[in-house]
């Protein structure tokens, strides 16, 4: 296992067989193809999508029909390279951008590769993820990180990228007044990014006083209970990281004329929104589907200590305890749970 080039090398993986059923198994170490690198996985963050697949066996049209490796927030070290990749990359510590676009379609050609209709994304059926000792990724999606960034933080560059993409879509800038609904990991990270982008005020809402306290330590300037009335805040940008209809409607009411709404949270596919208010205030609305070209900025923000991800880690588990990790991530007071495949 220490030498991925040895004959018939095997690795450990955590497999989701069906909703509620996770087991440790062995499978062959993948071989990097042309333009790819083999990564020994160091850390993997647990995302809400991982727990959703574990609990329900599906997300929308993506159904777990055969054993699947979960986990898409990952970091590690390059241990082998495929054809066309310099041997000089072997040994680099990297953060994985967990996607493989086709690079040929209209969206890819325009730089919006996150919208590629042929996207292969980690831990999205039938594509395996990173709850494994080794994974393969395209060379340009293996982003080198400095030694100052921990393995856990390097893994959490993935959710950080969601926060960056949300703030970019909302055009958050110096002096912006921002509202974030939902003080979970994405909401708290989005609040940090908004402040790093220069926002003068970042309001955040949640049902949990404990999570609001965490948010106030990490970017938010004002905290509100989810039931509070928000009309009159007149924020420039509203980022929904909750996904609940009540949160979306309440947030829209707080947006100034010509302001922007950015929908990030995963909730119901269909919600009722105040169309008259949106029309009369000429409010702009957009969604966030993953990210594109965010890793270089994310790494720079971390390296400059403008974002704190390590403080959000509340638990860590070995690969043999992925089920415990998935259950733990839902616990009260939990922010980010990390799986350490090499532990």
In a domain, 2, yes or no: no
pLDDT by 10s per residue, the chain, length 343: 344 555 669 999 999 999 999 999 999 999 999 999 999 999 999 999 999 999 999 998 899 999 999 999 999 999 999 999 999 999 999 999 999 999 999 999 999 999 999 999 999 999 999 999 999 999 999 999 999 999 999 999 999 999 999 999 999 999 999 999 999 999 999 999 999 999 999 999 999 999 999 999 999 999 999 999 999 999 999 999 999 999 999 999 999 999 999 999 988 888 999 999 999 999 999 999 999 999 999 999 999 999 999 999 999 999 999 999 999 887 667 899 999 998 7
Residue 50 to residue 72: CA distance in whole angstroms? 8
Spatial CB neighbours of 197, under 8 Å, sequence gap ≥ 6: 167, 172, 173, 174, 176
Judging by DSSP bridges, how do beta strands 21-28 and 177-181 pair with one another?
unpaired
Q: What is the pLDDT of residue 245?
A: 95
* Whether residues 117 and 213 fall in one domain: no
pLDDT of residue 343: 78
* Signed CA dihedral, 289, 45, 177, 195: sign only: negative
Considering the domain architecture, whether residues 50 and 105 belong to the same structural domain is answered as yes
Per-residue model confidence (pLDDT) at position 274 = 96
Say whether both 132 and 195 belong to one domain: no
Residues 19 and 133 in one domain: yes
In a domain, 55, yes or no: yes
Contact 170, 191 (CB under 8 A): no
Instruction: Specify whether 214 is located in the same domain as 322.
Output: no
- Do residues 57 and 182 both lie within one domain? no
The confidence score (pLDDT) of residue 101 equals: 98
Q: Which residues partner with 203 through β-bridges?
A: 179, 222
What residues make up the domain containing 16? Answer: 10-156+309-340
Residues 323 and 213 reside in one and the same domain: no
Nearest-angstrom CA–CA distance, 163 and 182? 13
C-alpha 40: how far from its chain's center? 20
Report yes or no on 299 lying in a domain: no
Nearest to 342 by CA among 38, 4, 7, 11: 11
Q: What is the pLDDT of residue 86?
A: 97
Task: Clarify whether residues 34 and 146 are in a common domain.
Answer: yes
Residue 329 pLDDT = 80
The pLDDT, as a whole number, for residue 4 is 53
Nearest to 250 by CA among 191, 216, 205: 205
Q: DSSP letters of 233-244?
A: --EEEEEE-S--
Assign residue 194 the CATH number of its domain: 3.40.50.720
Q: At what angle do helices 295-303 and 157-169 cross, to 10 degrees?
A: 110
Whether residues 97 and 222 fall in one domain: no
Distance of CA 290 to the CA centre of its chain: 7
Give 180's strand partners. 204, 239
For residue 119, being part of any structural domain is answered with yes
Quick check: 130 and 41 in contact, CB under 8 A?
A: yes
228 with 322, same domain? no
- Structural domain includes residue 213: yes
Residue 88 neighbours by CB under 8 Å, 6+ apart:
none
For residue 54, give every residue at least 6 positions away whose Cβ sits within 8 Å of its Cβ, in sequence order, or none: 16, 19, 20, 22, 70, 323, 326
**Together in a domain, 277 and 313:** no
CATH of the domain at 19: 3.90.180.10
Give the Cα separation of 266 and 308 in Å (integer).
24
325 in a domain, yes or no? Answer: yes
Q: 205 has which bridge partners?
A: 181, 224
Structure-token pair, residue 31:
């071989």
- Any domain includes 293: no
Structural domain tally of the chain? 2
* Partners of residue 225 on adjacent β-strands: 206
| Calpha distance 208→192 (Å, rounded) | 18
Residue 58 lies in a domain: yes
Residues 108 and 179 grouped into a single domain: no
């Amino acid at each position: 296992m220490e030498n991925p080039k040895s004959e018939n090398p095997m690795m450990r993986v955590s497999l989701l067989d069906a909703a509620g059923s996770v087991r440790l198994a062995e499978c062959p170490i993948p071989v990097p193809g042309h333009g790819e690198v083999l990564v020994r996985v160091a850390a993997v963050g647990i995302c809400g999508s991982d727990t959703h697949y574990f609990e329900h066996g599906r997300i929308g049209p993506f159904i777990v029909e055969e054993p699947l490796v979960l986990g898409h927030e990952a970091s590690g070290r390059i241990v082998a390279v495929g054809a066309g990749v310099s041997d000089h990359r072997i040994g680099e510590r990297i953060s994985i951008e967990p996607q493989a676009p086709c690079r040929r379609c209209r969206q890819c050609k325009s730089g919006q590769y996150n919208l590629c209709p042929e996207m292969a994304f980690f831990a999205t059926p039938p594509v395996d993820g990173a709850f494994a000792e080794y994974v393969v990724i395209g060379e340009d999606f293996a982003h080198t990180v400095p030694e100052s960034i921990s393995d856990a933080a390097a893994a959490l560059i993935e959710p950080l990228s969601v926060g960056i993409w949300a703030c970019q879509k909302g055009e958050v800038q110096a002096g912006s007044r921002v509202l974030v609904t939902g003080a979970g990991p994405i909401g708290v990270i989005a609040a940090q990014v908004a402040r790093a982008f220069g926002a003068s005020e970042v309001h955040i809402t949640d049902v949990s006083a404990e999570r609001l306290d965490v948010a106030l330590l990490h970017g938010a300037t004002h905290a509100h209970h989810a039931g509070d009335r928000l009309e009159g805040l007149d924020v420039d940008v509203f980022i929904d990281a909750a996904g609940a209809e009540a949160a979306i409607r309440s947030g829209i009411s707080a947006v100034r004329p010509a302001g922007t709404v950015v929908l990030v949270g995963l909730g119901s596919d269909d919600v009722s929104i105040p169309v008259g208010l949106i029309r009369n205030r000429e409010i702009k609305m957009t969604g966030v589907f993953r990210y594109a070209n965010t890793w270089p900025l994310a790494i720079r923000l971390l390296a400059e200590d403008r974002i704190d991800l390590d403080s959000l880690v509340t638990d860590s588990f070995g690969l043999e305890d992925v089920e415990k990790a998935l259950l733990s991530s839902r616990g009260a007071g939990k922010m980010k749970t990390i799986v350490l495949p090499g532990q």
